[in-house]
Amino acid sequence: AQKVTQAQTEISVVEKEDVTLDCVYETRDTTYYLFWYKQPPSGELVFLIRRNSFDEQNEISGRYSWNFQKSTSSFNFTITASQVVDSAVYFCALSAYNQGGKLIFGQGTELSVKP
Amino acid sequence: KAGVTQTPRYLIKTRGQQVTLSCSPISGHRSVSWYQQTPGQGLQFLFEYFSETQRNKGNFPGRFSGRQFSNSRSEMNVSTLELGDSALYLCASSLGPQEGDGQYFGPGTRLTVL
């Protein structure tokens, strides 16, 4: 069975702090994809990144970076120099082999960035 | 390019009624998936459609159904509404049904059942 765990329910930081959101996944498949989405108060899920199981290279996009480690089944997300606009709920998701578009989501981490 | 659109954005129904939600995918996207989001259960997969065929279905009762039209637009229907059906219903579109295709979500339809 596939499962995604985001152990941090809520995180509160002060603006300009760095923050890491943890994501641990479970799957028996060797081919799978991992995603991060951001859900601001408006409710729409915003796609942030997709990573396949064969690509363990870390990725950086502006203030965002992702660390994928198959050895620990983790796909962590770091925001550097956080800003108030980063306040949202962040979801990690898994798409397993031969499951098509079915995404399995973690419970989400609510990030609050205070000025 | 326009994003995923969902109508209506808000809906209030009473128990026992039925409801139909609509989703228009991004132009060129042929796969549409539906998710239910509640505070207690989080985001749960309902079903996925590609080329007018349901390819995958989540663990929901038969009261939840959907369909896809030839232009890739999709509708989902919930019959005999229950209080527990109150949720944010999110539609996502992708180019195709492959697991690696990025899914792009619409703003959702917030359904309240009284």
Question: pLDDT band for position B2 (50/70/90)?
Answer: confident
Write the residue in B56, B88, B105 that is nearest to A102 by C-beta: B56
If you count them, how many residues does chain B have? Answer: 114
Write the residue in A31, A47, A97 that is nearest to B102 by C-beta: A47
Residue of B nearest to A40 (CA): B107
Work out the average pLDDT over A1-17: 95
Q: Which of chain A's residues have a Cβ under 8 Å away from the Cβ of B11?
A: none
Cross-chain residue pair A52–B58, CB shorter than 8 Å: no
Q: Provide the residue type at B35 as one letter.
A: Y
Q: Are B70 and B92 in contact (CB under 8 A)?
A: no
Work out the average pLDDT over B83-106: 87
* A64 close to B (CB below 8 A): no
Q: Are B110 and B9 in contact (CB under 8 A)?
A: yes
- Does the pLDDT of residue A58 top 90, yes or no? no
* A45 close to B (CB below 8 A): yes
A83-95, pLDDT tens digit by residue? Answer: 999 999 999 999 9
Cross-chain residue pair A43–B42, CB shorter than 8 Å: no
